[in-house]
DNA sequence: GTCTATATCGGGATAGAC
DNA sequence: GTCTATCCCGATATAGAC
């Protein structure tokens, strides 16, 4: 890939993300993106195999930003619920301006025929980095997590996070305020559950959850 | 709507579902559906406002079938996990042949711009009927459920069921065997959690979960 | 009310020339 | 690497037959 190609690609990407934010995924057309980037439609498809793949590009950049800003966001928080809250606020804060087109990614992955899935092997790296965010969030907290559960908890929290994103995408309330409430409320439940997990009575449940997780591990979710 | 219209509508619906199963949602075109049903394209759009609405129609029929067959499926089962397993097997058994196009429904709803959502006000009836399946499943079981949790548990199980469907749609393993494993494993956890819910130590968690649910109740999820 | 026939539009994606 | 031309699709509109 030459420098010129690199520049063209970059131009198309930048224009696309701007238009996605402005008009949403369906509202922004490939013709328009190409025109505004001053290339032919075909050129856009030379660099990006599909419209969805442009969104995937966005997601990778977002993950970089989260990685960079996490330490600052967690600064000064030791309590588990506070730390989780800070991490989620950071993630959702960056997602928020892009809700209008983020659904496109999930939509693409939901089609069993579509190879561009956010859960595919190609996106394993991204997924693991996202899980890593929760590992870092848990590590600095003051809560004792049972040894058997500890290594699996980040992935479990990531699944919870995926659930929140999904709810947020569906959420048609004004400014998605219902999602804000859901996050606050569910964080109470999640933090409470983690704190209770070390009790004797919770052992069978912990065992069941661990069996579930070890079953999923290895393959991409 | 006369008998003739009814027949035409039925014909289009039947052909569409057959083609969806055969070629998936995107693979089957409206032109083809209309042609195979021996009507003009316009006629298909006369009865169904969009391609997605054909899928919605399918979903309603599916719900009817579940309602009819539930009693037989639960027959002879008293143990909670067994009953839930039977209910889920029934639901997924009917969904299975239609995986290739079922994603289309969810996809439509994920687009914040698209009014045809499976979680919209229009589909409230369907959603409530689906929740009712879990109510019936719980009612005949031998497990004592705390009084505060009991009225909300069916909805909670329905959310769990939605999660399973989502996983299943994303699941690219052969024959979606990973979903089968997930169902078996997660049922262990769910049944265990329900049984533990009445213990003293679980009270704060139960309270947090109930707060969450009461927050969501009323509005469509 | 129930369609047929047809034209039209804008969109994603692609083949092949350059 | 890039562009032009083209294809096929979903969707809409319309005029008119029965």
Reading chain B (221 residues) residue by residue, the pLDDT tens digits are: 567 788 899 999 999 988 988 888 888 899 999 999 999 999 999 999 888 888 888 888 899 999 999 999 999 999 999 999 999 999 999 999 888 888 877 777 777 666 566 666 667 788 899 999 999 999 999 999 999 999 999 999 998 998 898 889 888 889 999 999 999 999 999 999 999 999 999 999 999 999 988 887 755 44
CB atoms within 10 A of CB B81: 18
* Domains A1-48 and A51-216 agree in fold: no
CB atoms within 10 A of CB A66: 19
Q: Does A173 touch chain B (CB under 8 A)?
A: yes
Q: Which CATH number fits domain B52-216: 1.10.357.10, 3.30.360.10, 3.40.50.2020, 3.40.50.720?
A: 1.10.357.10
Q: Are A36 and A15 in contact (CB under 8 A)?
A: yes
- Name the region of B76 (left: φ>0; alpha: ψ -120 to 50; beta: rest): left
Closest CA to B126 of B183, B54, B57, B47: B57
- Give pLDDT, residue A122: 64
Return the pLDDT at B117: 65
Could you say which of B119, B170, B215 has the minimum Cβ distance to residue A185? B215
Task: Decide if pLDDT at A219 tops 70.
Answer: no
How close does chain A come to B1, measured CA to CA in Å? 34
Q: What is the pLDDT of residue A221?
A: 47
Q: Which residues from 18-77 of A have any strand C atom under 7 Å from their CB?
A: 26, 28-32, 41-42, 45, 49-52
Going from the C-alpha of B35 to that of each of A51, B24, B204, the distances in angstroms are: 30, 17, 60
The domain segmentation of chain B, as residue ranges, is 1-48, 52-216
Rounded CA–C1' distance between B10 and D18, in angstroms: 21
Residue A18 DSSP class: H
User: What pLDDT is recorded for position A181?
Assistant: 92
Distance C17 C1' – A35 CA (angstroms) = 21
Question: Within an 8 Å CB–CB cutoff, is residue A122 touching chain B?
Answer: no
Distance from CA of B2 to the nearest CA of A (A): 37
- Model pTM score: 0.88
Rounded Cα distance between A141 and A144, Å, is 8
Fold designation for A51-216: Tetracycline Repressor; domain 2 (1.10.357)
Distance CA(A135)–CA(A163), nearest Å, equals 18
Residue predicted with more confidence, A202 or B213? A202
Nucleotides of C under 7 A from a protein CB: 1-7, 10-16
Burial class of A68 by CB neighbour count within 10 A (0 to 12, 13 to 18, 19+): exposed
The CATH code that applies to domain A1-48 is 1.10.10.60
Q: Tell me, what's the pLDDT at B133?
A: 97
- Is the pLDDT confidence value at A116 over 70? no
Residue A71 or A53, more confident: A71
């Amino acid at each position: 890939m030459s420098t010129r190609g690199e520049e063209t690609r970059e131009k198309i990407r930048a224009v696309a993300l701007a238009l996605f934010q402005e008009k949403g995924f369906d509202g922004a057309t490939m013709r328009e993106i190409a025109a505004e980037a001053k290339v032919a439609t075909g050129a856009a498809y030379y660099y990006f195999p599909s419209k969805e793949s442009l969104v995937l590009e966005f997601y990778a950049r977002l993950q970089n930003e989260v990685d960079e800003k996490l330490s600052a966001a967690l600064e000064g928080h030791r309590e588990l619920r506070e730390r989780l809250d800070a991490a989620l606020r950071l993630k959702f804060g960056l997602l928020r301006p892009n809700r209008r087109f983020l659904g496109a990614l999930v939509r693409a992955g939901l089609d069993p025929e579509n190879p561009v899935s956010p859960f595919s092997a190609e996106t394993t790296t991204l997924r693991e980095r996202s899980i890593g965010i929760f590992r870092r969030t848990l590590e600095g907290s003051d809560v004792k997590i049972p040894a058997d559960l500890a290594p699996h908890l980040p992935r479990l929290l990531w699944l919870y996070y995926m659930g929140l994103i999904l709810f947020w995408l569906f959420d048609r309330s004004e400014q998605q305020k219902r999602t804000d409430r859901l996050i606050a409320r569910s964080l109470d439940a999640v933090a409470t559950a983690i704190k209770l997990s070390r009790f004797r009575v919770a052992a069978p449940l912990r065992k069941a959850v661990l069996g579930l997780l070890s079953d999923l591990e290895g393959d991409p979710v």
